[in-house]
Amino acid sequence: MNDLIYNQRHIPAEQYRYGFRTSAATGCGWIATYNALRLLGYRVDIDELIRWYERMLPLIHGNAGTSIPAPALRFHKWGFPVKMVVNPKHFDEEAKNAHVCILFYRWRRKWKLGAHFVALHHTPGGFVGYNTFKTSAGPDPYGPSLRDFLKKHRFFGAVLICIKDKRPA
């Protein structure tokens, strides 16, 4: 699989398990990392990527998803310049200066609470994300502002991981 993953729910249950669960259930962290690497033009060994994330939290093994700083740590270990931004007021400016980003956010629907990672980048038409919604079938347009996108969907607790390519420009 060398293309982008637009919807984690389309990954067959027996393929790319994340801990004891399916990647459809808890794989958004490794999928955001995979998509970010693909957007940068790198090849990815998905099995190794999943194993690294599973070792990151040795007792949990991905069963509760991916820790918030894990993608930043992984990219840093690979030698990419990485910056974590926690104030949404600075998301747009910082994301425009990065080659690719990973956005973490929390969501709530009635009594259900969850969290999600997505890969995104800025284009001349605005921000574009990958694997954003349960219904995603391709790139998701976020519009001109990440802050406005988060507000519109009532996502909260967001953290933006900004990544620059390690290859010389």
Domains of the chain, residue spans: 8-163
Count Cα atoms within 13 angstroms, Cβ side, for 136: 22
pLDDT in tens, 84-101: 999 999 999 999 999 999
| pLDDT average, residue stretch 58-69 | 70
pLDDT at 17 (0 to 100)? 82
pLDDT of residue 1 exceeding 80, the answer is no
Query: What pTM did the predictor assign?
Result: 0.93
Which of 138, 104, 106, 117 has the alpha carbon at shortest distance from 31?
117
Architecture of the domain made up of 8-163:
Alpha-Beta Complex (3.90)
DSSP annotation string for 81-124: -EEEE--GGGHHHHHHHSSEEEEEEEEEETTEEEEEEEEEEEET
